[in-house]
Chains A and B, each alone.
Chain A
Amino acid sequence: MSRARSAASALAALLGAACAAPDRQAPGSSSPAPAGPAAQAPDYGGYAARLLPEPVPELFRLDAARLRQRPEYAAIAAPVRELVRPDLDVAGFEALLGQLLLAADRIGEPKARAAVVGRLAATAGAVRLASATSLWAAFAESKGRLDDFALQHAADAPAGCRLDGYLPAGRSVAIPFACEQGGGVDDEGRPRGPSRWFAYLDERDAWIVVAVFDLVHSALEANLQLGEVAARLRQNRTAWDDYLRHGYAQYPWEELVNDRLVASAWDSPPDRQFVFLHAEPGVVFDLQHGKDTSLDAALLVHAIGHLWYFGDDRGWYAGASATAAITSDEDHGLGYGVTLHFGRSVASASVPAVSVGLLWHEGNDGERGLEMSIGVDLLRLLR
């Protein structure tokens, strides 16, 4: 708590200073560009490029995530380690930024110091003004960008150079960090030629910049609250699975029809389905001559129909279709009428998908009347 208070005080003191960010000259901060090869050094944005020795120091070649174990990084991170955690609130984040402002104020290079301090202060101010309570929501509401705190490629690097830096602004970066001039491979993977590496900050400043930005980035990433997103995506996937795998089965031509006629999106599985020329095994039972007849096996063809799915998981469906029934008894004649479909469309469903129809038939032998059809999704029962 006392740490948070002192950080808040530091933040308040630095907020004003950040705006002006005087071009203070720090010892050793203005290393002139080396002679010789550095004469063509890829200076950038007012920063002088400094030729790096071979092998390239890890600070300038490794990603921040791989530098976290280094003592130089750890020294900067130590005072704020406990503030980089997944349950950070806005006040905690402000406290983190306050501590990092203290570290950033030790950057010797004036432009870099001004840029880092300015961005930290601006972020703290914007997050504080946001109405949201969770860190991610407040950060997003304040128009912050995670990109600001990660190393980025500069699209306007000097010709023949690959330049990485911090604080992107359009095609540029405000703080150039490291640059590889020449080198690279051609489109067949063969080396184009030798390369030289340059840095724009001295090592002391570079460690501060890397650690400060990485700590802010890590704190924000840890508070993205992806657990909630993952849970909703899981339900979305289940709904798709229920519709496609456990819903009312579709023939290829029905897939095409539904694909064209039913609205859907990756995050919005279909909530209805057309039935079209759908053949299904079943039985028919003559309602008006029930004493003399038994169940007749039949091929039920649902000519056209429509189903609705219910629930966020698309776990139930119901609907109706126009049906024709063909039995093996040629004298029975064609039956036609309406079928109601209903079923549970989840993997664990014990209730089978059932289709119950009321049909009219006219037999060749003069027998006519109402009959009931029952179609069962045998495939579901057998699985």
Chain B
Amino acid sequence: MTGNRVFLVHGMGSHPEGWSQPWQQAFARAAGEFAPYAAGDRALADDVTFVEVGYDDVFEAYRARWRDLAGALGDAALPAPLQPVFAALAQQGDGVVPEYFWTHLLDVLLWFGLAQAREAVIATVAEQLVNGLEDALEDGARVHVVAHSLGTSVAHDTLLCLTDPKYTGGRLDPAAGGRRWDSLLTFANVSRLLAATRSPSSVQPASAFDPLTSRVNTGPNGLLRDFVVARHRLDPFTFVRTFEPPAAAGLSRFALRRYRDLADIHALETLLANPGVAAVCLRSLTGDRALGTDAEIAAAMPRYDQQMPRTDAAFATLAGALADNAGTSFVDVARAVLAIVRELDGLRRPV
């Protein structure tokens, strides 16, 4: 086993085992730009072990239950007014409700709208993190979390909940003497947009879960040693209530402009392709604080510019309209949702 254990927390949608291969390949590709990995005689896998963390089975349980219940009643002699309701619930493919509602947006709605779904997801992720942490500490490894999109909100809440003393007894709370997470790397961070309105903890109030003021930071009693927040300026998911924490030691913030295809603008791979972002992330993950010299980053930039040729402001109008706005008005939110729907339509088109 390697000296670094990296837990990967996915975003919305279904993620069967092995889902993280593209992420792992993106990290390995990025590492290949820098010594000691550039020479080819050492691989990132020699220093870092990736571990998948999943929680979509919780959302899948909701989806399946609603569909099964509705399906079972489909043949029953239901009163006519009820039939369309159960038919809609039971649908499997595209119908009145687009399929991506079931496969993607429902995850977000459940996480944001149903406290019990949120709590169940946290319980699921907490168990996996602590299991993995136990293994990692047995090997004397450092422990990191990489999260994307919805996963950033999930990781944020879970790390906070793990400071609750009921089960962990302060072991994961630096203020109580416990350990910090060596790093949290977030891509397309939506934790502020999806912040809990009702506390998932029986100990901490809802206000403790505001990502801008929560203890998920690198401060004296913060839960992290390193914190990376990377987003794309044109990513509609981060338009509204953008997570922009104040500057702090150990915090690295990125807001990128370049992309290849709008359909990929929300993807972790698009953000990690940036050599500067990659260097900072790899410094945290490998424990080499000088990994990725200025010369190496500068040398990799032309490749990045070529790989991500567009800076076209497809969403610039909308982004600009929201840039000077806290994004709390209904109109702004509605406009952003429309942009997201358009974005999802783009995702559904074959590349």
Interface residues of A (CB under 8 A from B): 55-56, 61-63, 65-66, 68, 86, 136, 139-140, 143-147, 150, 152-155, 157, 162-164, 168, 170-171, 178, 180, 183, 185-191, 193-195, 197, 218, 221-222, 224-227, 229-230, 232-234, 236-237, 240-241, 244-245, 249-252, 255-256, 258-259, 262, 264-270, 279, 281, 299, 326, 328, 378-379
The answer on a CB contact under 8 Å between B180 and A164 is: no
Contacts of A230 in B (CB 8 A): 127, 130-131, 134
A250 and B301 CA atoms in complex are apart in Å by 53
Q: Given A230-B127, A328-B77, do A191 and B276 touch, yes or no (CB 8 Å)?
A: yes
A188 and B225 CA atoms in complex are apart in Å by 22
Specify which of B47, B116, B140, B174 lies most central, judged by the most chain A CB atoms within 10 Å of its CB: B116
The answer on a CB contact under 8 Å between A281 and B72 is: yes
Nearest Cβ on chain A to B56's Cβ, whole angstroms: 13
Contacts of A145 in B (CB 8 A): 174, 177
The answer on a CB contact under 8 Å between B288 and A62 is: yes
The answer on a CB contact under 8 Å between A140 and B69 is: no
A265 and B116 CA atoms in complex are apart in Å by 8
The answer on a CB contact under 8 Å between A240 and B120 is: yes
The answer on a CB contact under 8 Å between B288 and A224 is: no
A51 and B289 CA atoms in complex are apart in Å by 16
Contacts of A250 in B (CB 8 A): 65
The answer on a CB contact under 8 Å between B200 and A265 is: yes
Q: Given A240-B119, A264-B116, A328-B77, do A140 and B177 touch, yes or no (CB 8 Å)?
A: yes
Q: Given A55-B290, A266-B200, do A251 and B66 touch, yes or no (CB 8 Å)?
A: yes
A259 and B140 CA atoms in complex are apart in Å by 41
Contacts of A225 in B (CB 8 A): 171
The answer on a CB contact under 8 Å between B66 and A229 is: no
Write the chain A residue with the least CB distance to B60.
A245
The answer on a CB contact under 8 Å between B130 and A229 is: yes
The answer on a CB contact under 8 Å between A66 and B288 is: yes
The reply on B167 being an interface residue by CB < 8 A is yes
The answer on a CB contact under 8 Å between B177 and A234 is: no
Q: Given A155-B249, A259-B114, do A147 and B180 touch, yes or no (CB 8 Å)?
A: yes
Contacts of A168 in B (CB 8 A): 220
Write the chain A residue with the least CB distance to B295.
A191
Contacts of B219 in A (CB 8 A): 155
The answer on a CB contact under 8 Å between A229 and B168 is: yes
Q: Given A65-B140, A153-B225, A268-B202, do A236 and B167 touch, yes or no (CB 8 Å)?
A: yes
Q: Given A65-B140, A250-B65, do A236 and B275 touch, yes or no (CB 8 Å)?
A: no
A8 and B114 CA atoms in complex are apart in Å by 56
Cβ < 8 Å to A, chain B residues 139-180:
140-142, 161, 164, 166-171, 174, 176-180
A180 and B290 CA atoms in complex are apart in Å by 9
Specify which of B73, B130, B249, B298 lies most central, judged by the most chain A CB atoms within 10 Å of its CB: B249
The reply on B319 being an interface residue by CB < 8 A is no
Contacts of B335 in A (CB 8 A): none
Find A188's partner among B58, B171, B254 (CB 8 Å cutoff): B254
Contacts of B127 in A (CB 8 A): 230, 233-234, 236-237
The answer on a CB contact under 8 Å between A154 and B119 is: no
A61 and B288 CA atoms in complex are apart in Å by 6
The answer on a CB contact under 8 Å between A266 and B126 is: yes
Additional A-B contacts beyond A150-B180, A233-B123 (6; CB < 8 A) = A65-B141, A221-B140, A226-B137, A234-B127, A240-B120, A249-B68
The answer on a CB contact under 8 Å between B123 and A266 is: yes
The answer on a CB contact under 8 Å between A279 and B73 is: yes
Contacts of A236 in B (CB 8 A): 123, 126-127, 167
A255 and B286 CA atoms in complex are apart in Å by 44
Contacts of A268 in B (CB 8 A): 166, 202
Nearest Cβ on chain A to B323's Cβ, whole angstroms: 14
Write the chain B residue with the least CB distance to A280.
B73
Contacts of B134 in A (CB 8 A): 226-227, 229-230
Write the chain B residue with the least CB distance to A237.
B127
The reply on B78 being an interface residue by CB < 8 A is yes
Write the chain A residue with the least CB distance to B166.
A267
A194 and B294 CA atoms in complex are apart in Å by 7
Question: What are 22 residue pairs bridging A and B, where the CB atoms are less than 8 Å apart in the complex?
Answer: A66-B287, A154-B249, A188-B255, A188-B276, A189-B274, A190-B276, A190-B297, A190-B298, A191-B297, A224-B171, A226-B130, A232-B167, A236-B127, A244-B62, A249-B65, A249-B68, A251-B69, A252-B66, A264-B119, A265-B119, A267-B123, A281-B73
The answer on a CB contact under 8 Å between A264 and B167 is: no
Contacts of A251 in B (CB 8 A): 66, 69
The answer on a CB contact under 8 Å between B133 and A226 is: yes
Nearest Cβ on chain B to A41's Cβ, whole angstroms: 18
A241 and B219 CA atoms in complex are apart in Å by 35
Write the chain A residue with the least CB distance to B175.
A145
Write the chain A residue with the least CB distance to B89.
A252
Nearest Cβ on chain B to A180's Cβ, whole angstroms: 7
